[in-house]
């Protein structure tokens, strides 16, 4: 399905379609890695029917998106959600739950490697090469290139497939429950990051 670019909040139809989904893959693009300094530029969504929406963030008043993010269903799937959760918390005030993280799952399941980036994971688990060449580009632009749009969509497009494969591995290794506990902790971790706590669990 083609990528759907919108500005501002979801339409009522889109909200309904996503609320009826089982899974919702989510990613964000920002001006940088500091949630207190850097602007949230894009929010990408994709459900199990490959319906991709890229939201260009032109307002932080998005009640329908907030409703979707705070709903129990669909399950929300991130790759390194720790950062996206902090960004979404900081900008939209939402606390997301019922979530899954493909990077955390990968670290718990694929202990034979240290390569847990999305590109590595897709290559190893799904068997193809993901184009990441737009990663460090100006996401704040009002005129996103088609290359940027495709790239941003690709960051959510494979997360649901990855979850299925990672769950098989986690189950095989007896780590599904541990993974669940880790996912449940992520909103708290994002909250600690935002509040400036570092190394809380260190000696
Ligand atoms: Mn991304």
Would you state the pLDDT for residue 158?
98
> What's 4-133+144-195's CATH class?
alpha beta
Cα 138 to ligand 1 centroid, rounded to whole Å:
12
Cα 156 to ligand 1 centroid, rounded to whole Å:
8
Would you state the pLDDT for residue 133?
81
Cα 193 to ligand 1 centroid, rounded to whole Å:
19
User: What SS3 class is residue 179?
Assistant: helix
Cα 203 to ligand 1 centroid, rounded to whole Å:
33
Would you state the pLDDT for residue 141?
94
Closest CA to 92 of 21, 7, 8, 14: 8
Cα separation, 60 vs 174, whole angstroms: 41
Would you state the pLDDT for residue 134?
82
Taking a 5 Å cut-off on Cβ, the residues next to ion ligand 1 are 27, 155
Cα 84 to ligand 1 centroid, rounded to whole Å:
9
pLDDT, averaged per 10 consecutive residues of the chain (203 residues), comes to: 92 98 98 96 98 98 98 98 98 96 98 97 96 88 94 97 98 98 97 96 92
Residue reference for tokens 């068997």: 127
Question: Could you tell me how far CA 28 lies from the centroid of its own chain?
Answer: 6
Would you state the pLDDT for residue 22?
98
Cα 170 to ligand 1 centroid, rounded to whole Å:
24
Would you state the pLDDT for residue 131?
85
Question: Could you tell me how far CA 194 lies from the centroid of its own chain?
Answer: 17
Cα 162 to ligand 1 centroid, rounded to whole Å:
15
Cα 114 to ligand 1 centroid, rounded to whole Å:
20
User: 190 near 89, Cβ under 8 Å?
Assistant: yes
Residue ranges of the domains in the chain?
4-133+144-195
Cα 64 to ligand 1 centroid, rounded to whole Å:
22
Would you state the pLDDT for residue 91?
98
pLDDT in tens, 91-128: 999 999 999 999 999 999 999 999 999 999 999 999 99
Cα 27 to ligand 1 centroid, rounded to whole Å:
6
Would you state the pLDDT for residue 183?
98
Length of the chain: 203
Cα 134 to ligand 1 centroid, rounded to whole Å:
9
């Amino acid at each position: 399905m083609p990528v759907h670019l919108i500005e501002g909040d979801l339409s009522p139809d889109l909200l309904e379609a996503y609320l009826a989904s089982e899974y919702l893959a989510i990613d964000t693009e920002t001006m940088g890695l500091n949630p207190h300094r850097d602007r949230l530029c894009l929010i990408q969504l994709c459900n199990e029917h490959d319906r991709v929406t890229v939201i260009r963030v032109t307002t932080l008043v998005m009640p329908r998106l907030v409703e979707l993010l705070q709903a129990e269903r669909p399950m929300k799937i991130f790759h390194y959600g720790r950062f996206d959760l902090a960004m979404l918390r900081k900008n939209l005030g939402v606390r997301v739950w019922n979530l899954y993280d493909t990077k955390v799952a990968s670290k718990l399941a694929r202990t034979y490697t240290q390569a847990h980036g999305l590109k590595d994971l897709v290559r190893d688990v799904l068997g193809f090469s993901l184009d990441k060449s737009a990663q460090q580009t100006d996401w704040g632009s009002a005129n996103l290139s088609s290359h940027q749009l495709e790239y941003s969509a690709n960051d959510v497009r494979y997360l649901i497939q990855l979850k299925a494969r990672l769950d098989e591995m986690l189950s095989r290794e007896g780590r599904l429950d541990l993974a669940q506990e880790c996912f449940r902790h992520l909103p708290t971790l994002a909250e600690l990051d935002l509040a400036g706590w570092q190394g809380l669990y260190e000696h």
